[in-house]
Amino acid sequence: MRALHIKLLRELRRLWAQVLAIALVMAAGVATLIIGVGTYQSLERTRALYYEANHFADLFAGLTRAPRPLLDEIGAIDGVLAVDGRIAKLALADIEGLTEPASTLLVSLPDGGREPLNQLYLRSGRLPEVGHATEAVVSEIFAKARGFVPGSHLRVVMNGSLRDITITGIALSPEYIYAMAPGETMPNEGRFGVLWMPEKALAAAYDLQGAFNAVAVKLLPGASLPAVTAAVDRVLAPYGGQGAYGRAQQTSNAFLDSELTQLRGMSSVLPPVFLLVAAFLVNMTLTRLIALEREQIGLLKALGYSSWAVAWHYVEFVMLIAIVGTALGYGLGIWAGNGLTVLYARFYSFPVLVFSRDPILYVVAGGITMAAAVIGAVRAVSKAAWLPPAVAMLPPAPPQYRQVLGARTVVRLALPQTWNMVTRHLLHWPWRTIGGVLGMAFAVAILVGSIWSIGSMNFTIDYIFNRTERQDATINFLGAKPVRALYEIGRLPGVLAAEPQRTIGVEIRSGHVKRRVAVSGHAAGSRLTRLLDASLVPVVLPPTGIVLGKTLADLLGVRPGDTVEVTPLEGDRTTRQVTVTGLVESYLGLSAYMELGALNALFDHAPLISGANVAIDTSREAELFAALKATPALGLISLRAVSLERFRETMAENLFVMIGVLVAMAGVIAFGVVYNFARISLSEQGREMASLRVLGFYRHEVSMLLLAEIAVVTLLAQPIGWFLGYQLARGMVRSFSSELFTMPLVVSPDVYVYSSAVVVAAALLSALIVRRRIDRLDMIAVLKTRE
Amino acid sequence: MIRINCRREFTHSLGDMSQSNVARSAPDTAGAAPPTTAAAPLLRTSKLTKIYRMGDVEVLALDAVDFSAGAGEFDVILGPSGSGKSTFLNLVGGLDTPTSGEAWFLDHRLTAASESALTRYRREHVGFVFQFYNLVPSLTARENVRLVTEIAHRPMRAEEALELVGLKERMDHFPAQLSGGEQQRVAIARAIAKRPDLLLCDEPTGALDSATGVVVLEALTKVNAELGTTTLVITHNVAIRGIAHRVINFANGRIASIEANAHRLPASAISW
């Protein structure tokens, strides 16, 4: 090994704590990059492969009923590669061990051969045998939650009659990677499942022999989605077509899209912050190291080493730090990435989901980190390496300090001289001070930018479950019923109050923008279900016009007074013009509301309702469920309490894991910045501190010099960090928001308090570690030598 | 373990001069006598010994030194490098603790004092001046002095201390803006501003040229004369010996001899 390399390794060993602190910040950068991009890649690539291998369709449409030969007509549309007609029906299921009824989606399997599109991936067991009307394959997540294995039984109400179904296998489908019951806001693991059954069985049960009520289409490469959509709509219109839609609006696919957007947001914000801080720390530490080794640099050059050789020596030093940081980051990233993948696998059903092993990702993460380190080193190295050896061997000119307020200012602050030392030292190295403040501010910002989402989640829960949808349960009929059905519900045991609701699927359009949404009709004075405006004041549904959720209104670019076009997906499919008469806040999905009477009038319906929101006497819940199971024709019930619990669990698991990781990483930044800052400050002022000890200052008084400096930096960082954190939260709201979910930007004061507390604690910890070095200052050695 | 005994190598060449008797006898020449001669000495050491351990090597830096100095004395300590004079100064200044032996400041036993008691001792009673000034670069001359006056019991004003060393005009300059001699005078002002009982100077002129060094020595003798501060000045510059009441010669970790000056020279009469 060459002498310079031995020097390098000894230098690393001597400065191990500072090196480790920097390496940890780098590791955080590498890890966030690997976690973010790796998870993104895993999900994205796995999904693409899955879609490809299992022939996931490009276009979907529901209809009332159409004869099978119509599929040939669809197949003949220009741009269509393949078409699949299926029967899909929602049905109630009675499951042992579950008091309330569960809901299932029954999907037909072709009787001979494989399904042409949206092919199943059979995890275990076998497909139902042709002609066995009571066999079904069940979706994996539902099976896991309910403990189904091939051979298990469940009872399903098919078109009014209860059937005992035998599970023959457990399967996954690219169509239901993220499976959610219609009308729900969250996947409901144990209460919603997909059952695939032989077509003959479903056709017989629902009187759909030789017919289908759902269609999936695969496009030729390069085919125009809007053109095919329009053509399919034309073909299906006479058969009660409910409007074809592409993958972007297919629930499962859309949820994955929104997840991918979030991951992309995370990996574009966090890693740069960590790498920036790491570059700053490298710069700060190396500048000091080189200042201390100035004479050695002169000596090396006098011995005949070139400037480049000297520069390379220090670049190698930071590259070694980067290598340590990258290695730690790989480990951390792979570990957390694998953990996150396991978590994802609980919500998203993939045949296989493994964390990205793409070597390019790891090479790029390492390369970027190396680049950040070297960039951080450039200034420090270039200043010293090109000094003429004779100059380098002389001690540097003493630092020139200035009076903070000028020597002759009128006001002389009667501050102790130690405070003068602190302020002047901080001001003497303005860039380092600014860097330290910004580094700490980033740590605060990362905390604010992650902790706030807990408050936001609680706000969302409160908003949805306590302020707007205050019903205990919603009963959805399997089709519209006359208003008197409400009385039927009112008479059910345990029902304290029932409010009517009518939901109509429509395509809403303004200009070129159109979306498929459900318009909900409520009675004007509904007390269980309320609408709120931006300032949380209840909005009474006006007797005419449509009230839009803010997300939808923004999407369509309309405001109250504007007109939108509304086309029902069922029935006459005639377009109506409706005036927007109000806006309400909405966080989940795209929403539109009308007063029940106005809704019915608009669509020329007789007074119909599609369900009811009910308040329940919880002590009589069991009776109610029994009654509902006994009269399956009444419809599906979804319980708010269960939804709330699931919502909390889902959000909490995702959030807390992510926040836990981020809090740790912010702590690493705060610790790394303060530790290096303090060590360098101590290295520069060690001599002065020893002098003060000689002059009779106690240890704690001398320590105050350093602690005060850190305190100033930490304090200055707080408001900047709060501001940056708020901006981060805003950016998150913007990048995370999708048509499915909007985060309310609610940052309460305690978010700032917690964030600052974490950073201050990390700063204090590193300051106390450095303080021990002050106690060990060798007064005599310091005073006997010239710096 | 290797023990290096510096003393043994030089004992014969220096003869058998017993230092302890001489040390206890106060100089009796009237003109050179210190302003006050206390019955109990201000500073006293008994068998003060310091052994440094460096790895497996032990170095006997100070070998059972007995010494005493009365209030108001101005003593110059001479000796070659490694003779133990700095070690001695550090021990009596409370910067270090001896391996054995005792040191007393009035009736306080320094050798039994805790770390924090030694800090208090330095804070209240001792002023230090070093070869390399050790000023705080981020504080002006005045502020460097204030650093001490802010924590002392009955200090003089910072301006007063600076005036005493002839730096009244330059007190708002930072150390980097002052010459070496000026910086050393700031260090002296900082050391005496607390009105210490004991002023310990380790090579105060070591980094200075003759003319500047004389100015610094003038400041030291002036302080000694006007404030009655007991002053110990370490140097290996023999030319300085003339300004002292007594000259203590260190060699091999021991006091080789003590001479009293019959006539003190003013600092201005010295050059090197």
Q: Which residue type sits at A3?
A: A
Sequence-separated (6 or more) residues with CB below 8 Å from residue A14: none
Please count the structural domains in chain A.
3
Average pLDDT of A323-349?
A: 89
Chain B CB within 8 Å of residue A417 CB: yes
Quick: pLDDT tens for A464-494. Answer: 888 888 888 888 887 788 888 888 888 888 8
Query: Which range, of A99-103, A128-132, A155-159, averages the lowest pLDDT?
Result: A99-103
Together in a domain, A100 and A206? yes
Domain end residue (candidates: A226, A250, A274) = A250
pLDDT band at A94 (very low <50, low <70, confident <90, very high): confident
Exposed, middle or buried: residue A735 (CB in 10 Å: 0-12, 13-18, 19+)?
Answer: middle
What number of other Cβ atoms are within 10 A of residue A511's Cβ? 10
Nearest CA in chain A to B170: A407
| A69 in the same domain as A101 | yes
Q: Evaluate whether residue A35 is within a structural domain.
A: no
Q: Is residue A476 part of a domain?
A: no
Least Cα separation, residue A703 to chain B (angstroms): 14
Q: Of A220-234, A311-325, A562-576, A706-720, which range is least confident?
A: A562-576
Contact A420 B116 (CB under 8 A): no
pLDDT at B14 over 60: no
Do the domain assignments include residue A165?
Answer: yes
The CATH number given to whatever domain includes residue B25 is 3.40.50.300
Are A107 and A242 in the same domain?
Answer: yes
pLDDT score of A405: 53
In the predicted structure, residue A203 carries a pLDDT above the cut 90 = yes
Q: pLDDT at residue A537 above 90?
A: no
Q: A560 and A660 in one domain?
A: no
Using CB atoms, which residue from A399, A417, A696 is nearest to B123?
A696
Question: Could A694 and B95 be called an inter-chain contact, meaning their C-beta atoms sit closer than 8 Å?
Answer: yes
CB pairs under 8 A between A and B: 92
Residues of A in contact with B128 (CB under 8 A): 694-695
Q: How far apart are the first and last CA of chain B?
A: 43
**What's the gap between Cα A363 and its chain centre?**
25
The pLDDT, as a whole number, for residue B16 is 33
Quote the tokens at residue B45: 């050491």
CA distance B153 to chain A (A): 12
Domain boundary among A616, A650, A670: A616
- Residues of B near A (CB-CB distance < 8 A)? 86, 90, 93, 95-96, 116, 119-124, 126, 128, 130-132, 134-140, 143-144, 146-148, 150-152, 172, 174-176, 190, 202
A58: its two tokens: 């490009």
Please tell me which residue of chain A has the smallest CA distance to B133.
A783
A420 interfacial to chain B (CB closer than 8 Å): yes
* Section A226-241 average pLDDT: 91
The residue among A225, A250, A275 that closes a domain is A250
A424–chain B Cβ distance below 8 A for any pair: yes
* Least confident piece of the model among A107-111, A448-452, B38-42, B100-104: B38-42
Across A437-459, b (16+ Cβ under 10 Å) vs e yields bbbbbbbbbbbbbbbbbbbbbeb
> pLDDT tens digits for A511-528?
888 888 889 999 888 888
Q: Examine the domain organization and report whether A583 and A669 are in the same domain.
A: no
Query: What percent of chain A has a predicted confidence (pLDDT) above 70?
Result: 96
Model confidence at A785: pLDDT above 70: no
Q: Does the structure show a pLDDT above 70 at B38? A: no
Chain A segment 634-693 residues within 8 A of B by beta carbon are 687-688, 690-693
pLDDT digits (tens, 9 = 90+) for B143-187: 999 989 988 888 999 999 999 888 889 999 999 999 988 999 999
pLDDT bucket at A190, cuts 50 / 70 / 90: confident
Q: Which of A407, A688, A690 sits opposite B172 (nearest CB)?
A: A407
A400 in contact with B at a CB cutoff of 8 Å?
yes
The count of structural domains within chain B is 1
Asked if A783 and B130 come within 8 Å (Cβ–Cβ), the reply is yes
Mark yes or no for CB contact A692/B147 under 8 Å.
yes
Q: How far is A670 from chain B (nearest CA, A)?
A: 27
Q: Please report the ipTM that was assigned to this predicted complex.
A: 0.80
Pair A139, A242 in one domain: yes
Enclosing domain of residue A687: 418-469+640-787
A216 and A83 in a common domain:
yes
Query: Chain A closest CA to B222's CA: distance in Å?
Result: 21
Residue A206: CB partners within 8 Å, gap ≥ 6? A87, A89, A158, A159, A213
The range of the structural domain enclosing residue B58 comes to 2-269
Residues A138 and A87 reside in one and the same domain: yes
Å between A778 CA and nearest CA of chain B: 9
Confidence (pLDDT) at A208:
93
- Of the candidates B76, B3, B4, B69, the residue with the CA atom closest to the CA atom of residue B252: B4
Mean pLDDT over the full length of chain B? 83
Are A771 and A703 spatial neighbours (Cβ–Cβ below 8 Å)? yes
Interface contact B119-A693, CB threshold 8 A? yes
| Nearest chain A Cα distance for residue B19, angstroms | 27
Chain A positions touching B119 (Cβ under 8 A) are 693, 696-699
Element (H, E) at A75: helix A70-75
* Together in a domain, A598 and A744: no
Average pLDDT of span A528-554: 89
